[in-house]
Structure formats: C-alpha cells, structure tokens
Chains A and B, each alone.
Chain A
Amino acid sequence: LGHGSGGQLMAELLRDVIAPHLAAPIEDAAVVPFAGGEAVLSTDGFVVTPRFFPGGDIGSLAVYGTVNDLAMRGAEPVALCLAYLLEEGLDVAELHAVTASVAAAARTVGVPVVTGDTKVVGRGAADGIYLTTTGLGRRLPGADVSAVRGAPGDVVLLSGPIGSHGSAILSVREGLGFEADITSDSQPLHGLVAAMIAAGGPDVHALRDPTRGGLASALNELAAASGVGIDIEEAAVPVPPAVAAACELLGLDVLHVANEGCLVALVAAGAADRVLAAMRSRPEGARARVIGDVVAGPVGRVTARTLVGSRRIVDMLVGEQLPRIC
C-alpha cells in the first residue's frame, strides 16, 4: 500500500478495495432515516494484534464492539460509520479481507455502514490497520439502562462464559499454543439485549460488556457508578476449561481477562427470572447465569465468594499485573 495524500492513489484504494465490500461512501455525510425515539451514539477505536485471531478479526470486532456499546445503553443499532487508519506498506490483500469481514459483520447485525473515511500514514506512524467505528442507535422502547441504575437487591446476570477473547489473542500473539483450544467470543449482543428489554423493560437496570479489564473491571465500574457493592460467587462464573487452564499457567486472573461477546446485567430481583429466561432463549445467552447480587455497600466494593468459602476483594486491574506477594 502506497502513501495516500488524497489523490489518485486514494481514489483507487476506495474504488478497488473498499467499495466492492461496502456501499461506497461518495458523499461527505450520510442521511439516515430515523423513526423517532431517543438516538444513542457511540464510538470506539480498534487496535488489535494480531488482526486475525481464532473466532474473529479486527473488522468484525470493530462492528460488534460498537454495536455492543450501543446495546449496553439499551439501544438497537441503526447505522455505522467506519474510519480506517492504514500504515503505508500494508498488504492490500489484508485490507480486502478486513473490509470483507466488516461487511459480513454488518450484514450479520443487519445495519449498513453508511459513511466513513480512509487515511494512509507513513511507515511506522501506525501499526497496520486501525479502525474507528461510530454507531448510531435507537433506544429500545421501555429501556432505561444506565451504569448508575444498579440498586441494592438487584441480581447480577452474566450472559455466558468469560475469558476467551483475551486469552485467545494473547495465545496467538505470543505463540503460547492455546489457540487450538480457545476461540474468541466476539459476537454482537444487540439481539440478546432486545430480548432482555422485552422481558424486563426498565427492570433491566444496568448493562456492561466486560471488554478490556474483564469482568472485574466491569463490575467495579458498575458498583462505583451506581454507588453500591456487588457480591458474586466465584463458582457461578462460567469459565471454559481451556481458558481456566491457560489463565492458571499464565498467572492471569480470569476476571481480568477481556471479553468481546458477553455482558453483565444488574436486574431488579423481581424480573430476574424472566430476563434470565429471555437470555437463555437466545444462542448468545444460552449459558446465562445468576452470578451474584447487588448490596448496599461498602460502596464501590466488589467481592467474590471463593471456592473455599471466604470472600475476596475483586479489584480493578491497575496497569501491569505486578504481584502483591512479598
């Protein structure tokens, strides 16, 4: 890939590589029909090494990640914008593959990529491909989902097993050999959320997809934002055996490992059974479980009942994992 300064090369890039996959953006901005209600907006940058991994790639991740961020506010996706930042020297075949994946993911979700942007920067100024996706969504009727709405007595639901995405990425990037057994959970969650809202309406208080920082960070953020405490049962959190084995070997706490295809929900106790049933009716939520409950305090504290019955404090990940043992 040559260096682009907005001239002939760029036009060819758009025409030959990107447009065949996506409805080529020919206007400066897209007009999107929007049928009333509340608009929900989200944007996210995607940087991942390697760009292709078991269970996904940077293209599908960029679509699902933003769709999921919209879903975490109780919104269905309406349209997506996509911006490429490409490094000079990138293999054009790879750009084809990523763009094809974006298109396939958008079809899966059922939303168009309506506009976008492409920039090429000099060698070394970026690492291959960076994607930024912006999503426009519409708040689902009856949804009132916010990180601040968790309340004592709420039940904590988790939609599926954790730890696959982060351990798959790490394994393939560092050649650790787990990649045959571990596949990223990268998938869109808007359908799952729609089912949950249909079943629970405003009783679905808070949603979060435990991406970077893992379930531990997601729960800590929810607890802090809602001004509550959260207690979970370690044994209730599903972890695929291969992920558990990898984390054990790598010295990682699976609660800190990133996910791209599950969500955690704080739901009013009275609606928990209904919402859980709705989750389990969908493939993304087939293994949904109650993992704990929301308590009054201490505010911001998340604890896990361990397998031996004591309670340990579940912490946010602070930077690098430095052992606390002396």
Chain B
Amino acid sequence: MNLRGVRVDVHGTVQGVGFRPYVYRLANLHGLRGDVRNVDGRVLIRAAGPAERITSFLHRLAIDAPPAAHVAGLSAVDVPAEDVPDGGFHIRGSATDGSGAAGSREMPADLATCPACLAELFDPADRRYRYPFINCTDCGPRATIVDDLPYDRERTTMARFGLCGDCAAEYRDPADRRFHAEPVACPRCGPQLWWRGPSTTAGGDALACAVAAIAHGGLVAVKGIGGYQLVCDAADDAAVARVRAVKHRPTKPLAVMVADLTAAATVAHVSPAGEAALTSTARPIVLLPRNGSGGFADGVCAGLPEVGLFLPYSPLHHLLLHALRRPLVVTSGNRSGEPIAVDDEVALTTLGPLVDGVLGHDRPIRSRYDDSVARVVAGRAVLIRRARGYAPAPLPLPVAAPEPILAVGAQLKHTTTVAVARQAVIGPHTGDLADEATHDAFTDTVDRLCRWRAVIPRVVAHDLHPGYLSTRYGMDRFAAPHRIAVQHHHAHVAAVAAEHGLSAPFLGVAYDGLGLGDDGTLWGGEILHASYTGYRRLARFARAPLPGGAAAVRRPARMALAYLYAAEDLGVPRPDPARAGDLPARLGAREAAIVRRMIDRGVNSPLASSCGRLFDAVAALLGLCDETTYEGEAAVRLEAAAGADSEVPALPWRVVRRDGLAVYDPAPTLRAIVERDRPAGWMAAAFHTTLAEVTCALVADAAERTGVRAVCLGGGVFVNRRLTTDLRDRLGRMRFDVYTGEQVPVGDGGISYGQAAIAAATLAEE
C-alpha cells in the first residue's frame, strides 16, 4: 500500500461554521489518521493514509464544506507520512502559531437557524423544545456575540453561561452536531427571555406576553440577533401607523417577516434568485414584486409595488411566527438615522415608553448588525445593505494592502472597512454620521475591527468631501503623509471592480446622488477610465444648480425648477419653465420665486453633474414626488411608476463635447417630459430607456477612446433594477463585460470598500 502524508492549510470563512467537525468526519470516512486545528483564522490539517484516499479527501475537502463555510484558499503539501501522528484522527484546540499572521483572523457572520435545530425546536421530546436560543455549528449568532478572536466561547458573550453536563458533552463530542458550537446552550444552562410591559416576567411567559400584545394589535420591541426590533401585526393598519410614528419614518417601506416560501409566494412573486436569497443562511430582507393580493396593511409598502420580505432567522422569530401565524412587520428598533438599539438599558429607556412591551434576554449583543437588504437585479441578488449574515466576513482585495488600512467611508449609509493583506473587512452598516449615536457606533466599529484583526492602521483612506464627518475623523487622527483622499465616484466604481477581482483598467459608470469631484463641483453622472490607482473623467451629465444644497435634495420639485431655469447651456434651448404646469404652485409661489432668485444669484446653489438629481427632477416634473422622506425616494417612485413594460422607446437626448468630455445634455429629454402627451408612467419608463441609450453612447465613446471593454456600474442609482437590467442587456449585446455590485452595495455602503481597494493599490505602487 502506497502511504501518503499531507499538510493542508485552509483559509477563508472556516471558523465558527463547523469546519473542524466536518474535517473530522470526512477524515474518518476515508479512514485517515492525523489531526485538525484552528490556527489564528485558518484551519490546519495533517493527514496520512493510502494515497488514493488522500486524493479523494483533498478533492472533497473544499466542495463538500459546510454551507456557511467559504473556502477562499486551500494549499496541500506532501509531508512524510511518518510525521503524521498515529492513533486515529483528532480535533485539537485553537492555537496561535505565534507568527502574528494577522491577515488570517477571520470573523464568522451570523447564521440563520438550520433545519436540524428547527426540527428540535418544535419537537416536544427534545430537551431544547421551544428554547429560543437553540443553535449548532451550522447556525446561530456569531459576529454579534464575539468579543475577540480566535472564535471560542470564552471570547463571546456566551462566556457568562456555564455549560450544563449535557451541553458540555455535546460540545466536546467530535461526532456531535454541537461539537465546539460556541454559543451552545439549553434551557437549563443558557440565556433566558424576559418581558417588561404592563407586567414583568421571564422565560416562556415572557414570550406569551409578547405574543399576546402583538396579537391584540400592539407594538413590541424584541431583542433580535443584531439589535432590538419593533414587531407588530403586518395586517394591522393602526399598528403599522404606530411603527411609522415611533420611528419617524413616514413613507419608507417596512420589512415583513413571513413564515416560509409558501407564505412569501402568497404576497409576492418569488423568482429563483429571490428564493435563493430568502433561504440563504444570511437571511437578508429581499425586495420582491408584490403580487397584488394584499396580505398586509397598505401602510407597509406606502404605495410601492415591491415588498421587503424575509424569513425567520432566529429561533425566537420562529417561535413568534409559530404562535402568531401571520406576517409580521419587523423593523429595526431605532428612529430614522439612528443606530439600532443593542443595549438593554437603552432599549428600555428609549423604546420602552413607545411600545407595549419589551421582549429581551440576557445574552448580550456585542456588535450591532442591522438586517441586510437585497434586491434581485438582472437575475442576481445584489446587496443594497450589507449587514447581518454577511458582514464582517472578509472580501478579497485585488491588490494586497502592504500595510493595514482604515477606510472610513462616506457620510450616510455609512460603513467602515479595515484592509489587511488581501482581505477587506467591511463593518456593519449604519446611518448618518451626523447623528451622534451613529458616529459613536462608527468609532466603536473602527476599534472593534482593528482589535479583531489585531492591527493598528497607519494609513487612512477617506473621501474628498471636507464636511463628511468620516473625513474629519481621518484628518483628526492621521497625519497628512498617512492619509489617502479618494474621490467618491472613483471609490464607487473601484468597489465594483475590486469585488469582481478585475486587474486591468476599466470603464466606470458612476451614477449617483452627489459626491465631491476633483474640480470643486459635485459629481454623480460620470464615466471614468479608471484603475485602482487613478482615473480620468471621460464623460459627465450636464450640470444644474442645487438651490438650497441639501434642501434641493429633500425637495425634488426644487431640482425640477433648477433644471428648467438653469441647467447648463449646451447649445439647445432649455424647456420653457412656463410649461412646468402646476409645479411652481405645488412648490408654493413664494418658494418658487425664491428658488428662482437663489439660482439667478448663485445663493447656496452648488453645481452638480448628477444622475440622481436628474431622476429627482424628472420625478417631480411627472408629479410623482415633490418631497422626499428617505434617500432616493424620488427615484424609487419613478421606477415604480415605470411599471413592468420593458418596450418603451427613449425620449430625445443629445451628447455634446465640452473641454474634451462627452456631456449628456438632458434639455431635449426634459423638453419632451414637460411637453408630455403620454401618462406619467409611460414617460417614466421612457426616461429609463433614455438613460440606458445615453449611457451606451457614452460608454461606446469611452471604449473607442481607450480600447477598454470592461464596464463597472457603481453608485446608488444602480439600485434601480429597470435601468440596471436594461443597461446590462444593451452593453452585453455590444459585447462589453459588465459588472455591478453584488456582495458590496452600489450605494454609499460600498464606498469604504472601494476606498480600501484604491488605497491598497496606491500604497503598493509606491
């Protein structure tokens, strides 16, 4: 018999996902001897046995890995078989290899309750029957409960719960599903629920109180995996209205939790990609087209044709749904713009008085993770918000960071990234940094990510915008030689390129709200010829003033007037403002007059070449949205109005050349819109088609000038499914290679990752 020995080094997401028991079982299946252990963030295997069985073992190692594991790399070297210890195959404890190999410290993301645990949860004979904290190596909380790495129970918030005999036995048995399931617990030894409402109680009664309150139309705060959530009956108009009032969130759609795919299909069209996203272990909220039959209060979706659905991802969610048997609104427990509450005291004092009761428990949440949000675009699930279930699992960087980099992101929809070697760890998604609690969450995240990765970044990557509080943070804490300023849209398109591992220069289509350009104007409708270390602007949208700055963003009707009165003159007349119908009246005669005056005099009216603002203007001109209550609302309403008909032709448009740049002049498009002879929905669809045609023309021109065929679509506008799908199709037919953000959000949640990729490449080049 031909004996062979190997030493295997596996890295990726391999800790906290049942990888060692999996290796143990696979090795035993093959009759191999040796051992497996965690070393920093990697898994090291030594195995010896007949050569063909080693080959088979190695072959299956990566492809059969547990669902939550992600093998990023696997290297096997032959060693003398006699160097592999005798006496069967063993799982050994965690170790550090002393090399300080910081790049390999990997944080597992939280995992939805697995089918095996779910079966036990509802099995009256099981000792964890109806236990809200059941989990195993395939499921349960991870990143939200971890204090530090390596991932072991004593470095999680489970450390305070001593294991009972039964749990300890499971935890130590390599053959058990709960072998080294760090958060393992049972009703005897683990966390317990509590309820603070009109009455105060604990355990199963606590759950019953919450269920009763929700069943009677009440609003309850529930401690979830990554933070407190507000929960109510999704069919109860009054309860839904109350959620909106409590959150100061008048129109942004609310997420709905349904029991399973069957329940999802009764309210929405669930495509295969949507189904895959809904049932993935990350369990994001997935935006799906409603199928029209209602199923919940009108206030949930606020008139939009999509609903954000998700399936239960914690045992407590399952128990709530099991008892209530109806769709539930489940939304983060915070006011708009503030971070989700994680601390019990904070929840009781801030949410407590606003709800009918608080259902909490004594397992602390260490890190705050909001629910992730995905949308199916062009047949693939793309993340709009990368949070629980995804973050902080690392993403690859195309160019390794020569030293640790802190990328501090933008200002709204904020994320932070820490880059170490070839890995970028994106922290949780938060809101507006101007909110103090959000800012505190940001600085906490920086500290935590750095501690996890055991790095002290000496270089910060930040936006060009001097007023972003993230930029201020970077300026305050890093001396000039250790700062890399990254243009906002370069970061947007670099994020897309980096996610897809592009190495050659690419064309970046950055369609966005606003970001500060390198010429002192605001950008947001740009075509860049870019690499990770630089870019050249090849095309842009026409400029228009923003009368009142942020006020113009909140009031699309102002943007409409701004385009009519003062869009950049590119040689053809602008549409006649007198044709704007009742727009000035809707804005109010006084405001319309002052806006006009502000534009004429340049009072607080910065210029922007923004695609997002053009969406705003068109939405207002079509009477779809005069004022927004959440970011991107006008574009959301415009896309919704466009409906599903994909065969609407484009409106007139022109592209001119100015100072060496191709410039999209929307004057003919806007003229067609103000002189419209079709319903608003048709015009909305036609506007989408127009942008797709314009973009193809701009990209074709850029490709001709550069010879580049790879196109990266980045920026918040590409959350728009209609535009993105159409553009992918068209550019694909023109034989471009088209990429857009999937794991990394196209919006500002992806900025920090793009900054990290650019800073890493910039440092590497020096």
- Contact residues in A for B437 (Cβ distance below 8 Å): 310-311
Interface range on chain B: under 10, 10 to 19, 20 to 34, or 35 or more?
A: 35 or more
Of the residues A176, A251, A313, contact of B439 by C-beta under 8 Å: A313
Interface range on chain A: under 10, 10 to 19, 20 to 34, or 35 or more?
A: 20 to 34
Q: Does A303 contact B (CB under 8 A)?
A: yes
In the complex, A42→B236 CA distance in Å? 66
Known: A309-B335, A310-B338, A312-B436. A326 touches B606 (CB 8 A): no
In the complex, A174→B596 CA distance in Å? 12
- Contact residues in A for B593 (Cβ distance below 8 Å): 177
**B interface footprint on A208-240 (CB within 8 Å = 1, 0 otherwise):** 000000000000000000000000000000000
- Contact residues in A for B468 (Cβ distance below 8 Å): 324
Give 12 A-B pairs besides A313-B439, A322-B465 with Cβ atoms closer than 8 angstroms: A174-B601, A174-B603, A177-B593, A251-B547, A251-B604, A315-B469, A315-B472, A321-B549, A323-B549, A323-B606, A324-B550, A326-B631
Of the residues A176, A249, A326, contact of B411 by C-beta under 8 Å: A326
Q: Does A37 contact B (CB under 8 A)?
A: no
In the complex, A249→B596 CA distance in Å? 12
Contact B435 A311 (CB under 8 A): yes
In the complex, A321→B550 CA distance in Å? 9
**B interface footprint on A283-326 (CB within 8 Å = 1, 0 otherwise):** 00000000000000000010100001111110100111111111
Q: Does B467 contact A (CB under 8 A)?
A: yes
Which parts of B401-424 form the interface with A (CB within 8 Å)?
A: 410-413
Give 20 A-B contacts (CB < 8 Å), ordered by A residue: A174-B598, A249-B551, A301-B436, A310-B436, A311-B436, A311-B437, A313-B436, A315-B467, A315-B469, A319-B466, A321-B549, A322-B467, A322-B516, A322-B606, A323-B522, A323-B550, A323-B606, A324-B467, A326-B413, A326-B716
B657 to chain A, nearest CB (A): 28
Known: A176-B598, A311-B435, A313-B439. A322 touches B549 (CB 8 A): yes
A residues near B (Cβ < 8 Å) are 170, 174-177, 248-252, 301, 303, 308-313, 315, 318-326
Interface of B is mostly: mixed
Contact A326 B410 (CB under 8 A): yes
- Contact residues in B for A321 (Cβ distance below 8 Å): 549, 604, 606
- Which of A303, A321, A326 has the most chain B CB atoms closer than 10 A to its own CB? A326
B519 to chain A, nearest CB (A): 13
A21 to chain B, nearest CB (A): 34
A3 to chain B, nearest CB (A): 32
- Contact residues in A for B552 (Cβ distance below 8 Å): 251, 323
Contact B546 A323 (CB under 8 A): yes
A-B pairs with lowest CB-CB distance, top 10: A251-B548, A251-B551, A311-B436, A326-B513, A323-B550, A323-B549, A174-B601, A324-B411, A251-B549, A325-B553
Q: In this complex, what residue of B is CB-closest to A249?
A: B594
Contact A250 B466 (CB under 8 A): no
Of the residues B436, B467, B513, B546, contact of A303 by C-beta under 8 Å: B436
Q: Does B747 contact A (CB under 8 A)?
A: yes
Contact A324 B606 (CB under 8 A): no
In the complex, A170→B434 CA distance in Å? 26
**A interface footprint on B329-345 (CB within 8 Å = 1, 0 otherwise):** 00000010110000000
Q: Does B515 contact A (CB under 8 A)?
A: yes
- Which of A176, A251, A308, A310 has the most chain B CB atoms closer than 10 A to its own CB? A251
Known: A250-B598, A326-B411. A308 touches B335 (CB 8 A): yes
In the complex, A174→B465 CA distance in Å? 27
A325 to chain B, nearest CB (A): 5
B605 to chain A, nearest CB (A): 9
A195 to chain B, nearest CB (A): 35
In the complex, A321→B548 CA distance in Å? 9
Q: In this complex, what residue of A is CB-closest to B603?
A: A174
Of the residues B337, B597, B612, B748, contact of A176 by C-beta under 8 Å: B597
